[in-house]
Amino acid sequence: MDLQVQFGKRVKELRLAKGLSQEALALKAEVDRTYMTSVENGKRNVAIQNIGRIIAALDISIPDFFNSEVFTIK
């Protein structure tokens, strides 16, 4: 699985677990809702600054975000 897809899948997983809409998460992360949709669908090559914003908006640490079975290296 492509890293962009893995990242988007993890964002969506955590967003749903926190009961947030895409729009609510986008507002917290200070990005456009359509951008968030593209991220979750693995269509965006997310800039490092936006990765930080999204992870912070999810109220999770960077290590905890990436410590998931979603991220597989092959």
What is the tens place of the pLDDT at every residue in 30-66?
Answer: 999 999 999 999 999 999 999 999 999 999 999 999 9
Residue-level pLDDT at 71: 87
Phi and psi (nearest 5°) for 26? -60, -40
What is the sign, positive or negative, of the torsion defined by CA atoms of 51, 29, 7, 14? positive
Phi and psi (nearest 5°) for 27? -65, -45
Centre a 10 Å sphere on the Cβ of residue 2 and count the other Cβ atoms it contains: 8
